[in-house]
Amino acid sequence: MFSGSYVALVTPFKENGAVDEKKFEELIEFQIKNGTSGLVPCGCTGEAATLRHEEQKALIKLAVEIVDKRIPVVPGTGSNNTDEALELTRCAKKSGADGALLITPYYNKPTPEGQYRHYAKIAEETKLPLMLYNVPSRTGISMLPETIARLSKIKNIVAIKEASGSLDQISRILSLCDITVLSGDDSLTLPMMAVGAKGVVSVVANIIPKEVNEMVKAYLDGDMAKAVDIHYKILDLTKAMFIETNPIPVKTALKFMGKLNGVLRLPLCEMAKGNEEKLKSVLKE
């Protein structure tokens, strides 16, 4: 199930800051129409850190209802509080989600043993297919390949979104176990697939879902030339998605495309004017 181009979906807000369910549905339909393999709502790109739990649960349920089994829905349900992560993951399962994405516990910086127990408890008590999420730039701590290999022995821990930015990390993980690896860094998707990753959980796919899906599919189908061509075609745009904190650039791009109003929740705010001009230039190209 966890292969191809998954989109780390943004969460649209109204001008008053409330979740915009109508726009949420429009974004999902845009993704399905353009061939995206699966949806990952309520993750870092979805501003989960500023979603109230009731909002997050409602969005998970809504995403599952809108998709209606057309593609997998794998919502973010992570927390640095194991009980909260467990509660959100149970909600995902009850809502009919196909799996859950769980970020490495942030701020409290657990030891490898603490990381193992965190994920093992959630896996054991929900039985839902789980995707680990290693993103040290957000969490302040990285998961060791040995910890990931140990967790992969648990039947329903089946994948990892790797956003460490290290090909050595991917190589070490896959030398130790056969867990499915998905890229968490858009600019490294193709290089990561070259060493064994099966796809991506993509930020830039919010705005160019067709191109990201075609690149991943081309590589998986053995058409390396086409995959490389698309990689270089979209490379500058993938880099532009991180000229400020994600999801500021991608929401700004969606605003320029007329798909969103660009509203973010504090402490995130609108993009600096100079960076807006840089983003516009890359989008035009």
Mean pLDDT over 31-51 rounds to 97
- β-strand pairing of 157-162 with 130-134: parallel
Alpha helices in 50-207, H assignment, sequence order: 53-67, 82-95, 112-126, 136-139, 145-151, 167-176, 189-194
* Tokens of residue 42, six digits: 């309520």
What band does 1 get if pLDDT is binned at 50, 70 and 90? confident
Residue 165: its pLDDT value, please?
A: 92
Residue 172 CA to residue 66 CA, distance in Å, equals 38
Average pLDDT over residues 33-60: 97
- Decide if pLDDT at 138 tops 80: yes
pLDDT (0 to 100) of residue 75: 98
**Helices and strands of the chain, counted as H and E runs:** 12, 7
Residue pointed to by tokens 């904190």: 245
Check residue 101 and give its pLDDT. Answer: 98
Q: Reduced to 3 states, what is the DSSP secondary structure of residue 140? A: coil
Chain mean pLDDT for the chain: 96
Q: What is the mean pLDDT of the segment spanning 211-219?
A: 98
Other beta carbons within 10 Å of 258: 7
Q: Read off the amino acid at residue 76.
A: G
Q: What are 244-274's pLDDT values in tens digits? A: 999 999 999 999 999 999 999 999 999 999 9
Report the DSSP beta bridge partners of residue 134: 162
* pLDDT, average across residues 192-203: 97
The per-residue pLDDT for 90 is 98
Q: What pLDDT sits at residue 74?
A: 98
**CA atoms within 13 A of residue 285's CA, in its CB half-sphere:** 14
Strand-pairing partners, residue 180, are 159
State the virtual CA torsion across 68, 74, 80, 85 in degrees, nearest 10. Answer: 50
Whether 190 shows a pLDDT value over 80: the answer reads yes
Beta carbons of 243 and 276 less than 8 angstroms apart: no
- Domains in the chain (CATH in brackets) are 4-221 (3.20.20.70)
Claim: this prediction has a pTM higher than 0.85: yes
Residues 144-168 have pLDDT tens digits of 999 999 999 999 999 999 999 999 9
Cis peptide bond upstream of 267, omega within 30: yes
**Mean pLDDT, range 76-83, rounded to an integer:** 96
Give the pLDDT score at 224: 96
Q: Which residues touch 49 (CB under 8 Å, ≥6 apart)?
A: none
The percent of residues above 90 in pLDDT, for the chain, comes to 98
Which residues form the catalytic set?
133, 161
For the chain, what is the radius of gyration of the CA atoms?
A: 18
Q: Which residue has the tokens 């409330």?
A: 18
- Taking only the tens place, the pLDDT of each residue in 236-246 is 999 999 999 99
Of 182, 193, 189, 196, whose CA–CA distance to 239 is shortest?
Answer: 189
- Find out whether the peptide bond into 249 is cis, omega within 30 degrees of 0: no
Partners of residue 151 on adjacent β-strands: none
d(CA 202, CA 210): 12
